[in-house]
Structure 1
């Protein structure tokens, strides 16, 4: 069987920094000038391109709490600009005039830009840092008849639209994972489109409500968004998408151990407006690097079960370039875009 993995190894590709006119450097690359720029940043605005309650919201508020709690900035206001898989927030960032603005981004937005044919693209922004990586988990209500991942996939293949799956935005990480599982079950792109009844939601809270109300047969999201409901017994986890067991759900099997050769993890990071000066980009990168090195951020990673996946500068730019290519190819393969 073929293992389906979204690659996390940077590829030498067209630089986003070249497209935006910026060349943010990695940790330490800016030297004393970058450190001084970071020290001069007294406040930042943080855009969360989703409604409250989901992984992006958790990330944005964690960044805000650590930046202010560690006295790295005086204020770090968070605003939620949800809709269309983050592309509404991306449009908001494109119109932002404050260079000290950070927007949460990730794999979901990469897919949503393609499925929505968004006018504003990630290539038009200034990449600052990749922060975390997190596996996804497939869950069902505690009373569900589906005891294993195979049970659920078999039901979708047999019943098609009669089995509703809820997750994040159309074309996002959750939607792609559902398609990959059906591809592993032997369906083609056209068959996947016909069979998969995927109901997108605007945040983790909405997905939980649909599942607990028995308005969806299964849900897919980041482990951190469903873990507490699995632990409480309200939801039952069928499998996680990481290669190894997830920290927050150590007893839940992986998809590979369940016979599905799929390893698929979500990533989250930060972007700044396109066209900002090199000094401002370096200052933001230095600021986020200081946050990453703080004990408070390490505590957040442990509490949330997020894997540290920190990248800055050209390495992060190259990673995003490659991710855009990979996700576009995957979306075509599973029939979500033509």
Structure 2
């Protein structure tokens, strides 16, 4: 089964944050108990600081503050288990209308990997916001100057480790798709999970034993190091090249099946009223239309992909089915 190697440490970390993260969210929500979301809103970033979910949460916070959409917006980081610890904590905040959470494709995979009994369909959908894109990168001094260079060596030595985020994340699924495209058995993929993009980049830049020499992560996790020429991007997993970024897509390099697109959305606690859901939607719409959010989309090379609650709910159901099927095909989980 792919993804079992190296998973003990992340699992222990998940247990440690379960207590501290939950009380942080409880305290943040409790400070304004009974108030409306317009007065004070807590946004859970279900990952450590510096990752894609954290970035989306901070950009949401900044846009809401800049445009005075909400009087007070607080971001609380609850890392661990592919975002499913944050999901479990949101589920426990039953009927709390002042707490929301950034979510995405990685959380669907995290649930399938057994990280939580809660599912995205158990909480309240607000809106889908953006699409985000993964990049395959190596250190700047790597002998692999192109994706085909790497794949040629990978076919000769399928045990070359590929680094990325948590097990079942888009990074993991892209690595599996790449193995399949290279005519390797994805079930034999040597995938090395990391707690986030920061930990992965440290591994890529290190020569120590146990580090990796190729990784998959979100563009913004690698961006500074690519622009600083410390990492070399081999491919971006996107329908077309990112604007202003000279990185070929996997498709144009001859691997159209390497096509998993990450996405970001926002959900709320279960059990809130229709009026409370409508208020959170209105807040999100105002934030989304604000110039500062549009600037964030351009700055982070995201694609806007707005969907309201009903369409977003249907999309989540489709994603749960699609990602589960992909994970079965790649040997990540059993078909049970």
Q: TM-score range by the shorter chain?
A: 0.7 to 0.9
Aligned to 1:26: none
Measured against aligned partners, the alpha-carbon deviations of 1:66-95 in whole angstroms (never above 9, x if no partner) come to 111211111111111000100111111111
* Pair 1:90 & 2:83 matched: no
Aligned to 1:204: 197
| Two-structure CA RMSD over aligned residues (Å) | 1.5
TM-score by length of structure 1 reads 0.84
Aligned to 1:118: 116
Aligned to 1:226: 222
Q: How does 1:150-229 map to 2 (within 5 A)?
A: 150-161=148-159, 163-187=160-184, 191-194=185-188, 196-214=189-207, 215-229=211-225
Which of 268, 272, 281 in structure 1 is aligned with 2:264? 268
Measured against aligned partners, the alpha-carbon deviations of 1:27-67 in whole angstroms (never above 9, x if no partner) come to xxxxxxxxxxx997211001011011111110011111111
Aligned to 1:128: 126
In 1, Cα distance between equivalents of 2:103 and 2:244 = 22
Measured against aligned partners, the alpha-carbon deviations of 1:237-279 in whole angstroms (never above 9, x if no partner) come to 0001112111252x11111121112222110111101111111
Measured against aligned partners, the alpha-carbon deviations of 1:110-140 in whole angstroms (never above 9, x if no partner) come to 1111012521111110011111102211000
Change (3 A) 1:64 1:40: closer
Which of 231, 255, 265 in structure 1 is aligned with 2:250? 255
Residue 264 of structure 2 aligns to a residue whose secondary structure is: strand
- Contact kept, 8 Å, 1:129 with 1:312, in 2: the verdict is yes
Residue 160 of structure 1 aligns to a residue whose secondary structure is: coil
Runs of 4+ in 1 over 3 A off after TM superposition: none
- Contact kept, 8 Å, 2:37 with 2:97, in 1: the verdict is no
Aligned to 1:296: 292
Residue 76 of structure 1 aligns to a residue whose secondary structure is: strand
Q: How does 1:35-74 map to 2 (within 5 A)?
A: 41-74=38-71
- Contact kept, 8 Å, 1:82 with 1:89, in 2: the verdict is yes
Aligned to 1:327: 323
In 2, Cα distance between equivalents of 1:48 and 1:40 = 17
* Unaligned 5+ runs, structure 2: 1-34
Residue 280 of structure 1 aligns to a residue whose secondary structure is: helix
1:165 deviation in Å?
Answer: 1.4
For CA contacts below 8 A with separation 6 or more, give which structure has more relative contact order. Answer: 1
- Contact kept, 8 Å, 1:91 with 1:120, in 2: the verdict is yes
- Contact kept, 8 Å, 2:236 with 2:247, in 1: the verdict is yes
- Contact kept, 8 Å, 2:127 with 2:266, in 1: the verdict is yes
In 1, Cα distance between equivalents of 2:244 and 2:196 = 20
- Contact kept, 8 Å, 1:47 with 1:60, in 2: the verdict is yes
Aligned to 2:101: 103
Q: How does 1:13-32 map to 2 (within 5 A)?
A: none
- Contact kept, 8 Å, 2:36 with 2:97, in 1: the verdict is no
